[in-house]
């Protein structure tokens, strides 16, 4: 087994490569990213995933059998340059899918997002098959990507598996350019005894997930028997939903003097277009998904782990 991870230096990639190495051995994981990852221990390749020739070369050189394609431009950054975001997110996915067919890759993981939903989907308990009308270029790219993943499964039998992640909250790495990033930044400010300026309204409820749950879900969907993967676009995944006001209240139990001011910007419009909570019944039923972390458990972990890093 040889696993190639693209975007290995990103928020999810940083933690996922560590978990994959722990599980399958250091030599089974090839981390790749468009820039070097400082201090990375293990096999690493510089890779621009939009470059098909480079991807092909790396897959062949390492006899890769599985690809986790995490490289992408997220929602808030995506709005700064929509066409480039579409190009990067889709071109890299096409490369991964096509190289996987050409080189007989056994399994591919493609992360999607709750950003595939738009204003038409119900806000609360949004179901797997709710209408998809994303209004961000990131969401459009993920919704299209999911359908391309399904196309490659149906047309070529490629075993592509996918999760619609909520906003991921973790202490090991920083997110880059997403709308849900505030829920990581807020903990860093709290433990540094600084005030936090929140770019969302205090009542902006969004689906989130603690990193440990997010990584476990990824490993579990990839390990499930093929016959159990019934959704070939992407599975809804729920962790915990909360507002900036609620996460602040949970932090105040640890840092009673912590202060948050609210100055909503363009990211509030993105948040307004997304669900507040997600129904993930198909993931629970098909591959036994169940989250472990609620808001209080997440806050406890975030604060104690960040304090250790001080
Ligand atoms: N966390 C991502 C973002 O905010 C959503 O998938 O862009």
pLDDT at 310: 83
Q: Is residue 284 part of a domain?
A: no
Distance 115 CA to ligand 1 centre (A): 7
Whether 162 is in a domain gets the answer yes
Q: Is the CB of 89 under 6 A from ligand 1?
A: no
**Residue 109: CB partners within 8 Å, gap ≥ 6?**
66, 67, 68, 69, 160, 161, 162, 218, 221, 222
214 and 82 fall within a common domain: yes
Closest among 194, 231, 4, 204 to 96, alpha carbons compared: 4
Mark whether 138 is an active-site residue: yes
Examine the domain organization and report whether 153 and 192 are in the same domain: no
Same domain, 140 and 222: yes
Going from the Cα of 177 to the center of ligand 1, the distance in angstroms, rounded, reads 8
Q: Which pLDDT value is given to residue 180?
A: 98
- Same domain, yes or no, for 304 and 184? yes
- Whether residues 108 and 178 share a domain: the answer is no
Whether residue 141 contacts residue 74, with contact meaning beta carbons closer than 8 Å, is answered with no
Rounded average pLDDT per 10-residue block, the chain, 310 residues: 97 98 98 97 98 98 98 97 98 98 98 98 98 98 98 98 98 94 98 98 98 98 98 98 98 98 98 98 98 98 96
Ligand 1 atom with the shortest distance to the CA of 165: 6
Catalytic residue among 68, 117, 138, 165: 138
Does residue 191 sit in the same domain as residue 261? yes
CA dihedral 70, 37, 40, 182 (to 10 degrees): -60
Q: Where are the beta strands (DSSP E) in the chain?
A: 3-6, 29-33, 43-46, 66-69, 107-113, 160-165, 167-169, 196-198, 206-210, 235-236, 240-242, 260-262
Q: Given this model, what pLDDT does residue 308 score?
A: 97
- Name the residue of 175, 204, 238 to mutate for ligand 1: max ligand atoms within 8 A of Cβ: 175
- Residues 35 and 94 occupy one common structural domain: yes
Q: Which domain holds residue 297?
A: 168-207+240-277+293-309
Model-level pTM greater than 0.95? yes
Cα–Cα dist 301/229, whole Å? 31
Number of domains in the chain: 2
Q: Is residue 242 within 6 Å of ligand 1 at its C-beta? A: no
CATH number at residue 195: 3.90.25
**Does residue 285 lie within any of the structural domains?**
no
- pLDDT at 204 (0 to 100): 98
Q: Best mutation site among 11, 77, 179 for ligand 1, i.e. most ligand atoms within 8 A of its Cβ? A: 179
pLDDT score for 151: 98
């Amino acid at each position: 087994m040889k696993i190639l991870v693209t975007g290995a230096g990103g928020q999810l990639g940083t933690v996922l490569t560590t978990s994959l190495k722990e599980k399958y051995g250091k030599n089974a994981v090839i981390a790749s990213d468009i820039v070097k990852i400082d201090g990375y221990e293990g096999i690493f390749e510089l890779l621009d995933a939009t470059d098909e020739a480079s991807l092909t070369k790396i897959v062949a050189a390492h006899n890769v059998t599985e690809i986790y394609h995490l490289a992408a431009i997220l929602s808030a950054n995506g709005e700064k340059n929509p066409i480039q975001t579409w190009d990067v997110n889709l071109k890299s996915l096409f490369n991964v899918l096509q190289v996987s067919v050409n080189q007989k890759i056994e399994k591919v993981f493609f992360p999607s997002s709750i950003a595939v939903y738009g204003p038409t989907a119900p806000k609360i308990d949004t179901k797997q098959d709710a209408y998809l009308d994303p209004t961000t270029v990131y969401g459009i790219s993920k919704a299209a990507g999911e359908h391309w993943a399904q196309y490659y499964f149906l047309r070529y039998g490629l075993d592509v598996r996918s999760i619609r992640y909520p906003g991921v909250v973790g202490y090991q790495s920083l997110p880059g350019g997403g709308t849900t990033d505030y829920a990581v930044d807020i903990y860093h400010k709290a433990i540094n005894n600084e005030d936090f300026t929140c770019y969302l309204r205090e009542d902006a409820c969004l689906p989130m997930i603690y990193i440990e749950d997010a990584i476990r879900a990824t490993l579990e969907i990839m390990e499930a028997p093929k016959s159990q993967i019934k959704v070939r676009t992407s599975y809804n995944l729920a962790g915990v939903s909360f507002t900036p006001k609620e996460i602040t209240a949970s932090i105040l139990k640890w840092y009673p003097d912590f202060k948050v001011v609210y100055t909503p910007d363009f990211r509030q419009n993105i948040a307004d277009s997304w669900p507040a909570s997600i129904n993930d019944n198909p993931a629970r039923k098909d591959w036994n998904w169940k989250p472990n972390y609620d808001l209080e458990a997440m806050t406890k972990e975030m604060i104690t782990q960040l304090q250790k890093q001080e």
